[in-house]
Chains A and B, each alone.
Chain A
Amino acid sequence: MKEIITLTRKDLQLLFLDKTSIIVTFALPVVLVALIGSVFAGSFPPSSGITSYDYAFSKVMFWGLFGGVASSVASLAIEKHSGTIIRIQLAPVRKFQVLAGKALACISVILISSFVTWTFTSVLFGIKTASLLNMILICFSNAVFFAGLMTFLANFVSTERAAGALSWSVAQLLACFSGIMFPVMIMPSWMKTATNFNPVTWAVKAMEIALWTGGTFHELVLPVSITLGAGLFFFACSVYLFRWTTQNA
């Protein structure tokens, strides 16, 4: 466990030194909520029970999480490229610990991003949060899912540039098929069906429940188990797939 913490601390240190990552992960979502919320301000009558900002927050906060994923994937690619991973490999630590260290750093970043976006938008736009406890629970399960996804994606890239390209392409696709990009309601039926197989759809659903209706524990069991399960599944795959060096290192 000590090794994992050491690795996590180093990753967080590196991440917080990277100003671009900070902006994308922590500031951009707040700006987007403000923009999208004001664009659709007229489309949410009082009878709907939520404002355009509530709606924007429930979707846009995910872009901060995607940003956290992208910077973590990039950090692993940089380690492979620069050779620091060779050092880590030769140290008495295991593959599992290295990935867990990365994942834990990613989870921390994602939790911070959720917290920052929620705090700022709550203060600025009075975001409705029906059940704070459920919302915290869901932030955790989301973090586990996105960190698992991150370790999985990191297997397929060996340069920083490839890392950015892959992470953001996957983010766009996941956002398209989950209601983040546009509402599920307006999708053609084949697409609606497809969204059910996307863990992000369930993450978004759970977030809506926690924010808008509060939701019973029962209602949340399915979406939370799906996101948690998918995250752990991706992590397990990564431990199996992970290679220390790139092809031409």
Chain B
Amino acid sequence: MVNLKNVTKRFGAKTVVNDLSLTIARGELFGLLGPNGAGKTTTINIIVGGLLPDAGSITLQGSGSPQDPNIKRLIGIVPQSLAVYESLTAYENLNFFGRLYGLQGSDLTSSIQRVFELVNLTDRTKDRVKTYSGGMKRRLNIAIALLHRPSLLILDEPTVGVDPQSRNAIFDTLRNLRAEGCTTLLTSHYLEEAQQLCDTVAILDEGKLVAQGTVEELIARHGGQSILTVETSKGKSRIETHEPVQEIVRIHAEEPIISLKMESPSLEKAFLNITGKHLRD
């Protein structure tokens, strides 16, 4: 669905995207991950045709160019900023963007109804957006991108500044869309979220691709061992192991366990192991 080949983008002397190659398969929920400033937004802007790369090529849907209007119609984008008109109502926002995509009449009305249901905003449609909570604005931001039934949905940090409830609503929406066959690319600097949600991820650091694969693969390859902190009557001990369950059973047989803490391998740890850095805000 999306194919980036050796894409490089510089701003002045700074290389923001460095020789990046990516493939996103149809129907996949793909996570583009990395710390702030890694080049995620820039990559997205290149994919949607808002920026031209200095080197390399992008093709969408086989051999399509992001500049082609027919390809543009296939893409729905959720920008990192809240790209909505705050003084209009949610309904007026959707009405405007729907018309821009050529929807009208009962088509438009039913599309608006459909996306309101998708993002769970049906009870506040006639309220001005500025009266919405941060999470509701984010959901509206997503709804607008879904109006014209895109086959490629791109979300830039969809969960930044979102309350847990809205976040779960957003995740449910994305899972439902995947079930309908929509290809989704999302960026995030929360690796934990991506681990829950994505099929495949690519990890960027300083514009470079440092790892790419399914979540399971990356965790198995780079996630390291489980870390057990076990307390028995003999005292506390810290154990690293690939087989945490067996290890717990073994210890418990020797000496009853009083308390237990387990850290499983995770994308977060994989990132640490690959780059030697903690990924923080």
Contact = CB atoms under 8 A, between A and B. Distances in A.
Interface of A: 2-3, 6-7, 9-10, 13-14, 17-18, 82-84, 86-93, 244-245, 249
A82 B100 contact: no
Contacts of A7: 100
Given A82-B83, A83-B83, A86-B83, A91 B88 contact: no
B77 A87 contact: yes
Interface residues of B, number: 27
Contacts of A92: 69, 72-73, 100-102
A87 B144 contact: yes
B109 interface: no
Interface string B61-87: 000000001001101010111111111
Interface of B: 45, 48-50, 69, 72-73, 75, 77, 79-88, 92, 96-97, 99-102, 144
13 contacts: A2-B99, A6-B96, A17-B87, A18-B87, A83-B79, A83-B83, A84-B85, A87-B77, A87-B97, A88-B100, A90-B75, A92-B100, A93-B100
Contacts of B144: 87
Contacts of A10: 85, 88, 96
A91 B79 contact: no
Contact of A87 (B45, B73, B83, B88): B83
Nearest to A249: B81
A84 B88 CA distance: 13
A241 to B, nearest CB: 17
By secondary structure, the B interface counts as: loop
Contacts of A245: 45, 50
Contacts of B84: 82, 84
Contacts of A93: 100
Contacts of A244: 50
A157 to B, nearest CB: 17
B72 A91 contact: yes
A6 B100 contact: yes
Most buried by B among A13, A87, A93: A87
Contacts of B97: 87, 91
Contact of B83 (A6, A14, A17, A84): A84
Listed from nearest, the 8 A-B pairs whose CB atoms lie closest are: A83-B83, A83-B81, A91-B100, A83-B79, A6-B99, A17-B87, A84-B83, A10-B96
Contacts of B48: 90
A110 B92 CA distance: 24
Contacts of B82: 82-83
A13 B100 contact: no
B36 to A, nearest CB: 14
Nearest to A98: B100
A90 B101 CA distance: 10
Nearest to B150: A90
Contacts of B73: 92
B72 A86 contact: no
B80 A83 contact: yes
A72 B96 CA distance: 18
B92 A86 contact: no
B44 to A, nearest CB: 10
A82 B88 contact: no
A87 B79 contact: yes
A94 to B, nearest CB: 9
A7 B75 CA distance: 20
A86 B79 contact: yes
